[in-house]
Amino acid sequence: MEIIVNDNVEEMGRAAARVVARTLNCKPNAVLGLATGSTPLTLYQELVRLHNEEGLDFSQVTTFNLDEYVGLTRKDAQSYHYFMHENLFKHINIATQNIYIPSGTTDNYEAFCKWYEQRIVECGGIDLQILGIGSDGHIAFNEPSSSLGSRTRIKTLARQTIEDNARFFDSAEAVPVYAITMGVGTILEARQIMLLANGRNKAKAVAEAIEGPVTSMITASALQLHSDVLYVIDRESARELKMLDYYEWVQTKMPDAP
Q: How far is the CB of 39 from ligand GLP (least distance, A)?
A: 3
Q: Based on CB atoms, which residue is closest to ligand GLP, 217 or 250?
A: 217
Concatenated DSSP letters of 71-89: T--TTSTTSHHHHHHHHTG
Q: Which is nearer to ligand GLP, 28 or 71 (CB)?
A: 71
What are the DSSP E strand ranges found in 142-243? 153-156, 178-181, 192-197, 229-234
How far apart are alpha carbons 252 and 258 in whole angstroms? Answer: 14
Least distance from ligand GLP to the Cβ atom of residue 59, Å: 26
- CB closer to ligand GLP out of 103 and 165: 165
Q: How far apart are CA 70 and CA 178, in angstroms?
A: 5
CB of 167 to ligand GLP, least distance (A): 8
State the nearest-atom distance from the C-beta of 1 to ligand GLP, in Å. Answer: 19
Nearest CA among 113, 92, 99, 79 for reference residue 34: 99
The catalytic residue positions are 67, 136, 138, 143
> At its nearest, how many Å lie between ligand GLP and the CB of residue 104?
12
Is 66 or 128 the residue whose CB approaches ligand GLP more closely? 66
CB of 235 to ligand GLP, least distance (A): 17
Chain length of the chain: 258
- Adjacent-strand bridge partners of 31: 62
Closest C-alpha to 238, from 3, 13, 16, 37: 3
Burial of 250: CB neighbours in 10 Å, binned 0-12, 13-18, 19+: middle
Provide the 3-class DSSP secondary structure of residue 109.
Answer: helix
d(CA 45, CA 102): 23
Nearer to ligand GLP, 31 or 157 (CB): 157
**Burial level of 254, CB count in 10 A (0-12/13-18/19+)?**
exposed
Task: Report the residue number, 66 or 113, with the smaller CB distance to ligand GLP.
Answer: 66
Which chain residues interact with ligand GLP by CB under 6 A?
35-39, 66-67, 132-134, 140-141, 161, 165
SS3 239: coil
